[in-house]
Amino acid sequence: MHTRRIGDVDVSAIGLGAMPMSIEGRPDEERSLATIHAALDAGVTLIDTADAYHRDADEVGHNEILIAKALASHDRGGDVLVATKGGHLRPGDGSWTLDGSPRHLKEACEASLRRLGVEAIGLYQFHRPDPRVPYAESVGAIRDLLDEGKIRMAGISNANPEQIRLANEILGGRLVSVQNQFSPAFRSSEPELDLCDELGIAFLPWSPLGGISKAAELGSGHAPFARIADAHGVSPQRVCLAWMLAKSPMVVPIPGASRPETIRDSLAATDLTLTPEERAELDAA
């Protein structure tokens, strides 16, 4: 498995996005554990989660608990960087709400520590800006957690360039990751990707294949990806991830998966080399 760097940690060039295993339409636990184990067997050392990745109101942290169980039952579980997030909530009615208050973020971190069964969270990210709370106050809470040793590395998610620069300043240059939406259909995070490349901060595209309901349609919705996939004899999804990896050494995609075969196909993108002409065609698609 090819590796990339988040902060001072080498991780697999493609991580596992675990959200599909805990929200609506999720598989049974047996298949979820098999998916995580398949990822570990293939060399994945980065798993993305959040306390808000659950379905019902009374199961906050479902995904974190699932990951902890999967890691504890695999001989490579100790080699994985688990990236979790706080500041987003799910009341249980299918909606998403926000709480970026320092008090909530610190309480959420403590709860995530317990669910993951660790003394310090490998990478903790502020999930989404809360318009009711000054951004500096939210990031200040993340800084406090870092200073207290509750988290080993700090990141932010769903941030714009101004927020990235501000967060890095508040964290004293210790911002290691930015997790934003980025896919063939959603490219408005290009400025953030470019800034991360400039600053040496890992950029983690979420929903890189277009999201749970759209991933299977990537080829039909974006013809160049399908054409280049046919030329290489691989899936359009694999081409998509190879394209992202080629954009910057700071890019670490985290495609979601809920089946072993899906994550295996995604991971194979690290061995797919696109020509400059193919990359240019995909950039323009």
Q: Which residues are marked as active site?
A: 53
State the SS3 of 228-276. HHHHHCCCHHHHHHHHHHHHCCCECCCCECCCHHHHHHHHHHHHCCCCH
Q: What is the CA angle 279-283-285, rounded to 5?
A: 115
Question: Are 204 and 253 in contact, with CB atoms under 8 Å apart?
Answer: yes
Taking each helix axis as running N to C, give the angle between helix 161-170 and helix 190-199, from 0 to 180 degrees, rounded to the nearest 10.
Answer: 30
- In DSSP terms, 179 is beta-bridged to 157, 204
Q: What is the CA angle 77-82-88, rounded to 5?
A: 145
**CA dist., res. 33 & res. 133, Å (int):** 37
3-state secondary structure at position 133 = coil
**Single-letter amino acid code for the residue at 35:** T
Structure tokens at 233: 């004899």
Polymer length in residues for the chain: 285
